[in-house]
Amino acid sequence: MNEPINMAQFAAKVCGMAQPGRDFVKITKAVINSDDTRGLYQYQYTGSEGLELDCYLEYEAEHDGGTGPDSEESWPESITLFYALHKGEDISEVLSDDVRSTIETKALADMNKQAKENNDRMEAE
């Protein structure tokens, strides 16, 4: 059985929540297994307060829908945070929008950097 843990001070200081205790008092430990993370991009995030999170994000490539009146919509590439594990517990629900956005922005930049390095390495071989 999962035990509730008190996360108010943690969330206020590290996750960007404004008022400890008022936003929430306890959350239940989330159980995340490997099936939940399959196909997601893994990114190690370290915040300014020293918070270390194992993040799992879903990537969606950009889509060019064309220019004609009957074309599909176009959209830019994007990445969405699904899980943020701190010591094995998912705290994604208590992260502020700013922290989530920062994680997503940094993860997408890291993913693109890795892709470029892999392409450069393959071209050099």
Query: Tens digits of per-residue pLDDT, 16-62?
Result: 544 443 333 334 445 566 677 788 999 999 988 788 999 999 998 88
Instruction: Give mean pLDDT, residues 63-87.
Output: 78
Q: CA-to-CA distance for 125 and 108, rounded, in angstroms?
A: 26
pLDDT band at 8 (very low <50, low <70, confident <90, very high): very low
Name the nearest CA neighbour of 8 among 22, 21, 27.
21
Quick one: pLDDT at residue 5? 43
Q: Model's pTM, two decimal places?
A: 0.67
pLDDT given at position 99:
92
